[in-house]
Chain A
Amino acid sequence: MNRMIMKKRSILKEREKTQRRKGKTILLLSFVLLLSSVAVRAQRTTFLKINEVLVINEDNFVDDYGKKYPWLEIYNASPGTVDIAGCFLTNDISHPKMYMIPKGDVLTKIKPRQHALFWADDKATHGTFHLNFTLHPGKPNFIALFDSDGATLIDSVTVPAGQRADVSYGLIEDGWTQKRLDEELRLNSSYKDKKGDALWVHYEKVTPSSNNKILDTNEKIENFKENDSQGLGMMFTAMGVVFSGLILLYLIFKMVGIIAVSMSHRRAMKASGMTKEEAKGITEQSGDIYAAIAIAIYEVTEMHDDENTILTIKNTARNYSPWSSKIYTLRELPIKK
């Protein structure tokens, strides 16, 4: 009877333990889910940028109907696909919900670092990418992109008046912000001479649905060819970095080692009441001794000549695992009430 009660208790205990573990797992999972949903949200529309605008389209890009209208380009600066559907485009700040980008069109999903082109032709019936407003050649054109709540401004730009025909107005590099440009100007002294210091520039060679900056050459490689044709600069810099990284790691683990050794001294002194010198002797022993002891124990207890062919009646110890738990695989014992 006592044995049965004990068994029952242990089963209940195990069940309780498993449930507690399950609870913790659920809590952890919900935390991970919450984190990932935040990440997904962050991956969404906030990365969208108004990237290039053409106000006067006289002899330029034509739409699917063969017509030439002003256009604007949205760039997805994120490393993931962003669905722009549900967001709003407007040319009037007091009317943010001027044009809702329709939902359900597969083309509204902008791939990472890719573009979507909208025609400002005031012909929304022509399709998802045709806006219900147009741009005015004679005056400044304000354009804004609002999030699906119609209140959160994602990005906006005011294209100055006096735009030239077939010359677009775009960001100096895809998706750049003023902060990014300032950083580049600070780090790269020759950037200003080559490209200037304005965030928005005019493009004679327009790039609808494509990168604003089209590379004829790889700038980095050209720079290396020009300034470090022998490769010595690369060698010294790179070896400097490799050494710095490993020296840092060395210093940290030198310190960690000192702390670990002194802690093991203290533990040895506390456990067996030995003096500092004796403890030092023990903790400075090399791993060889322990390895030799481990091999000897293994040889005595574990090694067989023909391990796989020996029949044994020895019980095998099984450690508890929720995957092999008996409470999930056996029916409950009948409980006497």
Chain B
Amino acid sequence: MNFSSFLVENLQTFLTYTGFANLTTGHLVMIAVGLFFIYLAVAKEFEPMLLIPIGFGILIGNIPFKDAGLQLGIYEEGSVFNILYQGVTQGWYPPLIFLGIGAMTDFSALISNPKLMLIGAAAQFGIFGAYILALFCGFEPNQAGAIGIIGGADGPTAIFLSSKLAPDLMGAVAISAYSYMALVPVIQPPLMRLLTTKKERLIRMKPPRVVSQTEKILFPIFGLLLTCFLVPSGLPLLGMLFFGNLLKESGVTRRLAETARGPLIDTITILLGITVGASTQATQFLTLNSITIFALGALSFIIATSAGVLFVKFFNLFLKTGNKINPLIGNSGVSAVPDSARISQTVGLEYDPTNYLLMHAMGPNVAGVIGSAVAAGILLGFLG
């Protein structure tokens, strides 16, 4: 072999290793999806903290390469991404995210008006509505449970549950959950308008009373004991959520609370986002199932939002004048914190520029977080 043919041969071998040589239509589709996510985050500012890492993760996960045991892909044992992905597959990123959420959530609105908790419960119909639809589409009960949790509108919960019930669907479930969470400003307002009358949209709610620190400290303690005694399988998520909240409210662990709601949750969000994005390798992800899951995810959000709004209307039948709830906060039972509460505020202001619903909407919003974690615990208990 002369020197030039040696070089040509080497170059040819090298070319087989490039992304261009291994490119498939699937990769291109997924790269387009990743770019779309980044566009939504940058141009539309839809959940940028989630969509930027996930969108970029999709790009990383869909760089085509030759499967030559180079330990590059997220599904190759021992690769860097595979090691980072363990937090998702073993389910320990979501509880850490919940710790941070607990440490940054103020439950005052809920404590001052505890009946708002029931709205958070009603919105969980989205989960079980999607569960029924998924069964109808031919999914197994465990897969249907993993798909249904998209309706809980809680990314970490969706990842946690799907990693336990149907690991093969986890990428699709996570992407679907995060996508629709980012799209709540698009999905929810038309439904809210459709299901309410003008008179209902103008209801002014009683301002929340001042909540004492003792009540705030008691909330995570009672919350943990009650919910976890009822559904022990929700312990990883609820335990960390209430623990984080106690760190915040106790007033004596400021540094721990700040770490949990600051550097810790940021670090885990980055790792979670990028690895969930990278797990959407076209070869594993682009299937008919993924498309069906996306469609079911949209329906679950629609059911959850409608259930929340309709439940408030139903609840109002039993409440005295002056104590009525504005049904525009019904959507916030969907636990996309705080986006769905922000939507209640925005839509409310469209009809009455002096009616601020944000504080009231935060109640069902955080109750939705608790409700979806409880629902996830039930699904895990029944189907896990």
Query: For chain B, what secondary structure do more than half of its interface residues adopt (helix, strand, loop), or is it mixed?
Result: helix
Which of B114, B127, B214, B371 has the most chain A CB atoms inside 10 A of its CB? B114
What residues of A have a CB within 8 angstroms of the CB of B231 in the complex?
241, 245
A242 and B141 contacting across the interface, CB-CB below 8 Å: no
CA distance in complex: A201, B84 (Å): 44
By a CB distance below 8 angstroms, the chain B residues around A287 are 108, 112, 207-211, 359
Chain B neighbourhood of A176, CB < 8 A: none
The answer to whether A246 and B209 have CB atoms under 8 Å apart is no
Measured CB to CB, the closest approach of chain A to B241, in angstroms, equals 13
Beyond A231-B135, A257-B112, A264-B212, whether A249 also contacts B375 by CB under 8 A is no
Contact B382 A250 (CB under 8 A): no
CB-defined contacts of B230 to chain A, threshold 8 Å: 241, 244-245, 248
Nearest chain A residue, comparing its CB with the CB of B118: A246
Contact, CB under 8 Å: B128 / A235: yes
Pairwise interchain contact A261-B375, C-beta atoms closer than 8 A: no
Among A234, A243, A257, the residue within 8 A (CB) of B121 is A243
Q: Is B120 an interface residue (CB 8 A)?
A: yes
CB-based contact B124/A250 at 8 Å: no
A232 to B379, CA, bound (A): 13
* Min CB gap A112→B, angstroms: 14
Report yes or no: B383 in contact with A221, Cβ–Cβ below 8 A.
yes
Q: What residues on A are CB-neighbors of B124 within 8 Å?
A: 238-239, 242
By the criterion CB–CB under 8 Å, are A246 and B112 in contact?
A: no
Contacting residue for A242 out of B132, B209, B214, B378, CB 8 A:
B378
Q: Please, what's the 1-or-0 string for B287-310, where 1 marks a CB less than 8 Å from any CB in chain A? A: 000000000000000000000000
B20 to chain A, nearest CB (A): 43
Q: State the main secondary structure of chain A at its contact with B.
A: helix
Chain A 251-267, CB-CB to B under 8 Å as 1, else 0, gives 01110110011011000
The reply on B357 being an interface residue by CB < 8 A is: no
Q: Which of B210, B218, B382 contacts A256 (CB 8 A)?
A: B218
Q: In this assembly, does A285 line the interface, its C-beta being within 8 Å of a C-beta of chain B?
A: yes
How far apart sit A250 and B379, CA to CA, in the bound complex (Å)?
23
Selecting from A177-185, A222-230, A270-278, the interface stretch reads A222-230
Stretch of B40-48, B71-79, B221-229, B321-329 lying at the A interface = B221-229
Asked if A286 is an interface residue, CB under 8 A from chain B, the answer is yes
Residues B383 and A283 in contact, CB atoms below 8 Å apart: no
Q: B370 in the interface, Cβ–Cβ < 8 Å?
A: yes
A243 to B311: give the CA distance in the assembly, Å: 12
List B contacts of A245 (CB < 8 A). 121, 226-227, 230-231, 370-371, 374
| B131 CB–A CB distance under 8 Å | yes
Cβ-defined contact, A246 with B117, below 8 A: yes
Q: When A and B form their complex, what is the total count of cross-chain residue pairs whose Cβ atoms lie within 8 Å?
A: 136
Counting chain A CB atoms within 10 Å of each CB, which of B117, B118, B129, B379 scores highest? B117
Within 8 A of A (CB), among B208-262: 208-212, 214-215, 218-219, 222-223, 226-227, 230-231
Q: Given B115, B128, B140, B209, which contacts A238 in the complex, CB threshold below 8 Å? A: B128
- CB-defined contacts of B222 to chain A, threshold 8 Å: 249, 252-253, 256
Cross-chain contact A231 with B128 (CB below 8 angstroms) = yes
Q: CB of B111 within 8 A of chain A?
A: yes
Within 74-126 of B, Cβ neighbours of A (below 8 Å) are at 108, 110-112, 114-115, 117-118, 120-121, 124-125
Q: Are A242 and B144 in contact (CB under 8 A)?
A: no
A314 adjacent to chain B (CB < 8 Å): no
Q: In the complex, what's the smallest C-beta–C-beta distance from A219 to chain B, in angstroms?
A: 11
B181: CB under 8 A from chain A? no
Say if the beta carbon of B142 comes within 8 Å of chain A.
yes
Give the shortest distance, in Å, between B324 (CB) and chain A (any CB): 17
Let me know if A320 is at the binding interface, CB within 8 A: no
Taking CB atoms, residues of chain B closer than 8 Å to A261 are 209
Any B CB within 8 A of the CB of A337: no
Contact B210 A286 (CB under 8 A): yes
Q: Which residues of B contact A263 (CB under 8 A)?
A: 212
Verify B210–A290 contact, CB threshold 8 A.
yes
B367 located at the interface, meaning its Cβ lies under 8 Å from any Cβ of chain A in the complex:
yes
> Are B371 and A246 neighbours in the complex by a CB distance under 8 Å?
yes
Chain B residues, CB < 8 A from A221: 140-142, 383
In the complex, the chain B residue whose C-beta lies closest to that of A231 is: B132
- CB-CB < 8 A to A246: which residues of B? 117-118, 120-121, 367, 370-371, 374
Decide: B121 and A242 in contact? CB cutoff 8 A. Answer: yes
Q: Is the CB of B131 within 8 A of A235?
A: yes
The answer to whether the Cβ of A284 comes within 8 Å of any Cβ in the partner chain is yes
Given the interface pairs A234-B128, A242-B124, A246-B371, the reply to whether A286 lies near B382 with Cβ below 8 Å is: no
Which 9 A-B pairs have CB atoms at the shortest separation, nearest pair first?
A286-B207, A235-B128, A231-B132, A253-B114, A224-B141, A246-B121, A246-B117, A250-B114, A238-B378
Known: A242-B371, A246-B120. 7 other contacts (CB 8 A): A231-B135, A238-B124, A242-B374, A248-B230, A260-B211, A287-B207, A287-B211
14 chain-A/chain-B pairs, Cβ below 8 angstroms: A224-B383, A231-B132, A235-B132, A237-B378, A239-B125, A243-B118, A245-B231, A246-B117, A247-B117, A254-B114, A256-B218, A256-B222, A286-B208, A287-B359
